[in-house]
Amino acid sequence: MKRTQRKGQTPAAHDPQPPHAAPGPDPKQQEQDVPSEEVYIFLIVGGLVLACVVLVAIQQMLMRL
């Protein structure tokens, strides 16, 4: 019952929102593209550091054996 009432009330509220909501995410996605590059760089550098740590740990284990 509540869902049907909400559906009946929301179309009028949602009709103006999608046009406003559609342009909203577009600039946000464009803004996210710039930090995404920084995030990818951070992830790549972090991955390389972790790879080096793992390699050093493996070498130490092999040296102990």
pLDDT tens sequence for the chain (65 residues)? 555 555 555 555 555 555 555 555 555 555 555 568 889 999 999 999 999 999 999 999 999 88
Q: What is the largest CA-CA distance in the chain?
A: 73
Domain residues for the domain of 41 are 2-64
Question: What's the domain count of the chain?
Answer: 1
Q: What is the dihedral of CA 38, 39, 40, 43, to 10 degrees?
A: 120
For residues 21 and 34, give the distance between their C-alpha atoms in angstroms, rounded to a whole number: 21
Count of CB atoms situated within 10 Å of the CB of 53: 10
pLDDT at 36: 81
pLDDT at 37: 86
